[in-house]
Structure 1
Amino acid sequence: MSASQGSSAAPSGADLAVGTAWAEAPCPVLVVDRHGGLVRVNEAARVLLRGAAGGDGAAARVPSWLADAHRRVSDGLPGADPGPPTGTIDDRFFEAHPTPGADGDVVWWLVDETGRHHAENALSDALARSEILAEVSSALLSSLNVPRCMEVAATMAAEHLAEAAVLVGPPQGRRHPLTYARRGGPVTQVTRRVDVSIVPGLPEALQGFPPVPARWINPGDIPDWVIPDDFAGPVGSVIVTPLPGHGLPAGALILLRSSTEQAFTENEELLARLFAARAGSALSAAGLYSEQAAITATLMQDLLPPPLTSVHGVEYAGGYRASQDQERIGGDFYDVHPGADASRSTLVALGDVAGKGLEAAVLTGKIRNTLHALLPLADDHLQVLSLLNGALLTSHHTRFATLVLASVRRHRGHVELRLTSAGHPPPLIVRNDGMVEEVPTRGTLVGALPTVTARTVEAVLAPGETCLLYTDGITEARGGPLGDDLFGEHRLRRALAECAGMPAEAVVERVRMLTAQWLGAGGHDDMAAVAISAPKPGSLAALDGRADGGNPRRHR
């Protein structure tokens, strides 16, 4: 039925219900009969429907979405959704409000809600982007491993942004690390030599330049190496965007859609750039972490206490525990510097730098390096300590240290010791009969006073006997039943008495086990111990030196 304004026609039931207000309404108004026919329209509706029909208003009909709503109103059926029906006419979004008449006609008032509709869609899109980006950030920042981070970035890009994603890492020589991901498929990571210059926008993206619009990229120019295996159909749309990093680009991201998928929209390009910014930041952080971890591991090799074993027929064993369980280094240290041959003494040094953590570890490294440089003077403990003291006093470090030095030489099956303490707890010797003796060496600490004074004491270990050097972190460990008692020297002596005749490694392990049990979950200072043992005849260590007997000397 054609539409007419029909002001001279007999009034319908709808006309009687609303009067003539509909004809003068500024919004489009349609009068539709019970059969769905368009009876009358006002001028605003006539212009709207003429544009929707592309010409003559007589060809206009009730839009399908409004016809469906009209049938429900005419039949008295409830609406499928709460609220008024909505739909589009000529790219405009309308909300329809009915006024039923007595004869079945309905006046439909169309309110233009295009602006609100676009705003709601934009808000919905923004919320969806925010959810995606929040998920992406959480997933990417959960790992500081570069290959794992690349895998996660490519997987999430394929899941949320495209059918397939290719992450191109910065060049490694003439090769590039490549991560391929396909929606719902596996992730593949390879490093190969590829020509990035033939991919539109990729050379610029790898240098950190802004991306070119997707509409400027011809999908036919994409080389085969970019397309993942089992990609569905020819490439229909492409995005190439940089992965901005911290100072340097972290690579580039290529997003692919097949010709059967909708081409990337401007909003999707914006989302891809936001995604790439987060992925680039995460990859850059992972790269910096890996670089710092590698540097730290390299430096740590010189700071960690060395593994100890048998040297020139003498057994050595060491144990170390930093004050914080998550740390590997601290202020306690020990070293064993073997003599050139069995006739020359081996120098053992164990010390404790004031403080804990990395700062203390840096100073331990300085002390250890200085002691290594002073090895030609190792027979004169006081001179070594004096030179070390001078080096520390002229250092920018304001910390001091305690130290104990031991010159060790095997002679006729026994082990001869010269021991010097510089402000350090005196060594303890475990005799074969279970007696524990304190070596009476005393001295001032290094790095605090202009001069160092110290007393050197000689001792002899018979086969099976052990000398223990230790730091005060062991005796001052707080724990026990009440959690605040010191482990103390008396408990250490009791533990050592039970170790009579044990090899050096067993002695150190026993001390470590008992102090750990005493501490429980409590805090503690750095702890270090070195055991020097005269091996029993027939042991592997004894075979490395002389096994003939001799009368041991005690202290001199």
Structure 2
Amino acid sequence: MSHALGIDLDGWQRLVDGLREAVLVVDPVGTIRVRNSAAATKFPRLGPGEHFSGIETARHHEIGEGWSAWYISDTSLEQAHLRLASSTERAATLKTIVQLAADLLGDHCVAVVPCSRDRLEWWRAGSADVTVTRTPRRASAISGVLVGASSHTRIAELGEGGWGLPDGWKPGVSIAVPLGVGGALVVVRRGDFTAADVERVRLFGRHAAVALESASRLSEQGRMIDVLRSSLLPSPLPELRGVAMGSVYLPAHHRAQVGGDFYDVHPRTDGTATFALGDVCGHGLEAAVHSGRVRQSLQALSLVETNPVRLLHLLNTSLRATGSKLFTTLVVGELVPLGAGGLRLTLASGGHPVPLVLRADGRVEDVPTSGAIVGILNDVRFHPESVTLAPGETLVLYSDGFTEARAHNDRRELFGDDRLRKLLHECAGMAADAMARRFREAVLEWLGPGDHDDLALLTVQAR
């Protein structure tokens, strides 16, 4: 063999012993000459000198002059590992672990994992579904595995814990293997485990622990992202006496679900309110975080200042103090319901597209606000504008994502100001929320499946 293959039997032995997969090296007449440790564990009767006629599910490779190497995998474990690797949520991964363990390893399987308040969770696969219970941290039978002092433990008596054994069911020997930090997978049988069985449980446990750690990390990251995202999303529009409102919020990055455009309405106890719509330069997470900073600042400042011009001056000073290099355009307004019906609005703008008013007769008017962008310059000026809405009339604030939306069939053509005004004219007689939906439908139809900028719109209507 040494001359034919360029390596002696001892060399082959050292080579294949490092593989987890079971390997047999067979001579030209079908006699096993080399068996690695994984094959010895799985197939104790297939030793050197025994005749080997092949295994249908095994891979084999011709290695010269009639010699062959056979690689024998546990396909059921391989498929289980693939299922575990595809799971990204902690609870779903624990369910998969105990279900697969019950199918592949033993009569009854329990995943024991740490949870809050120094307690343990016991995940068990029942006849219909996986159940979970929580108990104080007491599991003396598997304490060595839980604290990481043992790679596996044979258990003759399970002792106390949330084992959930079926009524009248008497276990034989159990095997516990680590399942990540502070956890264990316990496989219970009516009988005993062979050495090959123990190795199989340990191998499954290693893969299960990796899958659980990865899924737990992803779940925690997902929870953190949800908390952060919720603070960046627009708040639900409040109910205000004599006012109807609608809104559109479509970030450019759909997966992130947040962007640099924003709107807010902050009601006060006297029935008035401060409202704003703005656009932070840039896209994605950085712009979304800055828009959150702008919104929080506005909300705090509006508690002590109601005048839109002074609000913008205070906001500009506050944002410059943070040292951010991002600028913001926005319109800030104060809303005051009138006793005889209608609304009086006072507006101030910081470099934002002019608001539009839809009159009761269908006319569309500009509200000629003007002012510098916010958050960059020290010496800025803002000018107030007032407008009165009769019942049924509507103020529309929007970001430039609407007017700069590019047509799906000609990316050079923009939606533009004229189309926006025409669309608003066609909305005469609509309620505020229906008007917002119409704008959303129209711009998405115009965009088609193409990319777009952040989009935000707010309609404020006198009832």
Normalised to the residue count of structure 1, the TM-score between the two structures is 0.68
The SS at the match of 1:489 is helix
- Residues 113, 179 of structure 2: 8 Å contact kept: no
1:334 Cα deviation after fit: 0.8
Cα distance in 2 between the residues matched to 1:530 and 1:193: 51
Query: 215, 220, 230: which is aligned to 1:286?
Result: 215
1:53-452 equivalence runs, <5 A: 93-94=49-50, 123-124=71-72, 127-128=73-74, 131-173=75-117, 175-181=119-125, 185-193=127-135, 196-199=138-141, 202-214=142-154, 217=155, 219-220=156-157, 226=163, 228-229=165-166, 234-244=170-180, 248-249=181-182, 251-259=183-191, 263-265=193-195, 267-342=196-271, 345-411=272-338, 412-452=340-380
Cα distance in 1 between the residues matched to 2:406 and 2:372: 26
Cα distance in 1 between the residues matched to 2:212 and 2:46: 47
- Residues 238, 267 of structure 2: 8 Å contact kept: no
- Residues 119, 137 of structure 2: 8 Å contact kept: no
1:445 Cα deviation after fit: 0.4
- Residues 433, 459 of structure 2: 8 Å contact kept: yes
1:192 Cα deviation after fit: 3.7
Structure 1 residue 510 and structure 2 residue 452: aligned? no
Structure 1 residue 473 and structure 2 residue 429: aligned? no
Paired AA for residue 130 in structure 2: T
1:476-491 equivalence runs, <5 A: 476-491=404-419
Distance change in 2, residues 1:489/1:187 (3 Å)? same
Distance change in 2, residues 1:224/1:93 (3 Å)? farther
Distance change in 2, residues 1:424/1:134 (3 Å)? farther
Cα distance in 1 between the residues matched to 2:137 and 2:277: 58
1:430 Cα deviation after fit: 0.7
- Residues 164, 257 of structure 1: 8 Å contact kept: yes
Distance change in 2, residues 1:221/1:133 (3 Å)? closer
Aligned-pair Cα RMSD in Å: 3.0
The SS at the match of 1:447 is coil
Cα distance in 1 between the residues matched to 2:122 and 2:184: 10
1:439 Cα deviation after fit: 1.0
Unmatched 5+ residue regions in structure 2? 1-27, 33-43, 53-67
The SS at the match of 1:366 is helix
Unmatched 5+ residue regions in structure 1? 1-81, 97-118, 536-556
Cα distance in 1 between the residues matched to 2:284 and 2:425: 32
1:289 Cα deviation after fit: 2.8
Distance change in 2, residues 1:393/1:137 (3 Å)? farther
Distance change in 2, residues 1:426/1:135 (3 Å)? same
Cα distance in 2 between the residues matched to 1:419 and 1:492: 20
How many aligned residue pairs are there? 410
Deviations 1:7-57 (A, max 9, x none): xxxxxxxxxxxxxxxxxxxxxxxxxxxxxxxxxxxxxxxxxxxxxxxxxxx
1:453-472 equivalence runs, <5 A: 453-472=381-400
- Residues 385, 452 of structure 1: 8 Å contact kept: no
In structure 2, what is the equivalent of residue 41 of structure 1? none
Distance change in 2, residues 1:453/1:291 (3 Å)? same
Distance change in 2, residues 1:499/1:158 (3 Å)? same
More strand by share: 2
- Residues 180, 228 of structure 1: 8 Å contact kept: no
Cα distance in 2 between the residues matched to 1:254 and 1:434: 73
The SS at the match of 1:341 is coil
Deviations 1:330-362 (A, max 9, x none): 1111111123313xx421111101112222111
Cα distance in 2 between the residues matched to 1:470 and 1:523: 18
Distance change in 2, residues 1:515/1:252 (3 Å)? same
In structure 1, what is the equivalent of residue 57 of structure 2? none
Paired AA for residue 164 in structure 1: H
- Residues 139, 160 of structure 2: 8 Å contact kept: no
Deviations 1:205-232 (A, max 9, x none): 2223332453xx4x2455685363278x
Distance change in 2, residues 1:92/1:311 (3 Å)? closer
Identity of aligned residues (%): 35
The SS at the match of 1:236 is coil
Normalised to the residue count of structure 2, the TM-score between the two structures is 0.80
Cα distance in 2 between the residues matched to 1:503 and 1:193: 55
Deviations 1:282-318 (A, max 9, x none): 2222223333333333333332112224413122222
1:263 Cα deviation after fit: 2.2
1:196 Cα deviation after fit: 4.0
1:496 Cα deviation after fit: 0.3
Cα distance in 2 between the residues matched to 1:315 and 1:90: 81
- Residues 208, 243 of structure 1: 8 Å contact kept: no
Paired AA for residue 207 in structure 1: V
Distance change in 2, residues 1:391/1:134 (3 Å)? farther
1:378 Cα deviation after fit: 3.5
Cα distance in 2 between the residues matched to 1:499 and 1:213: 73
Cα distance in 2 between the residues matched to 1:230 and 1:379: 70
- Residues 181, 188 of structure 1: 8 Å contact kept: yes
1:468 Cα deviation after fit: 0.2
1:273 Cα deviation after fit: 2.4
- Residues 181, 228 of structure 1: 8 Å contact kept: no
- Residues 167, 254 of structure 1: 8 Å contact kept: yes
Deviations 1:67-113 (A, max 9, x none): xxxxxxxxxxxxxxx96699x999863459xxxxxxxxxxxxxxxxx
Distance change in 2, residues 1:92/1:360 (3 Å)? closer
- Residues 474, 527 of structure 1: 8 Å contact kept: yes
The SS at the match of 1:298 is helix
- Residues 348, 384 of structure 2: 8 Å contact kept: yes
Cα distance in 1 between the residues matched to 2:187 and 2:112: 11
